[in-house]
Structure 1
Amino acid sequence: MKTASVRLSLLAATLAAPLAFAAPTKPTVVLVHGAFADSSSWDGVVAKLEQDGYPVIGAANPLRSVKGDAASVAAVVKSVNGPVVLVGHSYGGSVISAAASGADNVKALVYVAAFAPEAGETAVGLSGKFPGSTLGPTLAPPVALADGGKDLYIQQDKFPQQFAADVPVAKARLMAAGQRPITDAALNEASPAPAWKTIPSWFIYGKADKNIPAAALDFMAKRAQSRQTVVIAGASHVVMTSHPAEVAKLIEAAAASVK
Structure 2
Amino acid sequence: MPVPTIVLVHGAFADAASWAPVTRELLDRGHTVIVPPVYNRSLAEDGASIRAVAEHIDGPVVLAGHSYGGAVITVAGAAENVVGLVFVSGYVLEEGESLGQLQGGFPDSDLAANLVYTPYPVTGGEDGTDVSVTIEAFPPVFAKGVDPRTAEVLAVSQRPLTGAAFGEPASVAAWKTTPGWGIVSSSDHTINPDVERFGYERAGLRDVIELDAPHLVMHTHPAEVADVIETAVRETTTD
Q: TM-score, normalised by structure 1?
A: 0.87
Q: Secondary structure at the match of 1:130?
A: coil
- CA drift of 1:254 comes to 0.5
**Deviates further, 105-114 or 132-141:** 132-141
Change (3 A) 1:141 1:204: same
Higher relative contact order (CA 8 A, sep 6+): 2
8 Å contact 2:2–2:60 — kept in the other structure? no
Confirm whether residue 227 of structure 1 aligns to residue 206 of structure 2: yes
What is the aligned counterpart of 1:100 among 53, 60, 77? Answer: 77
The RMSD of aligned alpha carbons is 1.4
1:42 alignment counterpart: 19
Q: Residue 85 of structure 2 aligns to which amino acid in structure 1? A: L
Q: Of the candidates 144, 151, 162, which is equivalent to residue 183 of structure 1?
A: 162
Distance 1:164 1:129 in 2: 24
Structure 2 unmatched runs, 5+: none
61, 65, 71: which one pairs with 2:38?
Answer: 61
- Indicate the residue corresponding to 1:216 in structure 2: 195
| Higher mean C-alpha deviation, range 118-127 or range 64-73 | 118-127
1:170 aligns to 2:149 (yes or no):
yes
Question: Is the radius of gyration larger for structure 1 or structure 2?
Answer: 1
TM-score, normalising length from structure 2? 0.94
Q: Which residue of 2 aligns with 1:156?
A: 135
- Cα contact 2:182–2:208 (8 A) shared by 1: yes
Work out whether 1:111 is the aligned partner of 2:87: yes
Q: 1:126 aligns with which of 102, 112, 116?
A: 102
- Counting matched residue pairs gives 234
Which residue of structure 1 aligns with residue 221 of structure 2? 243
Equivalent pair of 1:33/1:90 in contact (CA under 8 Å): yes
Which one-letter code corresponds to 2:101 in the other structure?
Answer: G
- Aligned: 1:27 with 2:23: no
Offset, 1:131 = 1.6
> How far did 1:119 drift?
1.4
Runs of 4+ in 1 over 4 A off after TM superposition: none
- Supply the distance in 2 between the matched residues of 1:72 and 1:210 (Cα, whole angstroms): 28
**Equivalents in 2 of 1:222, 1:177: separation in Å?**
35
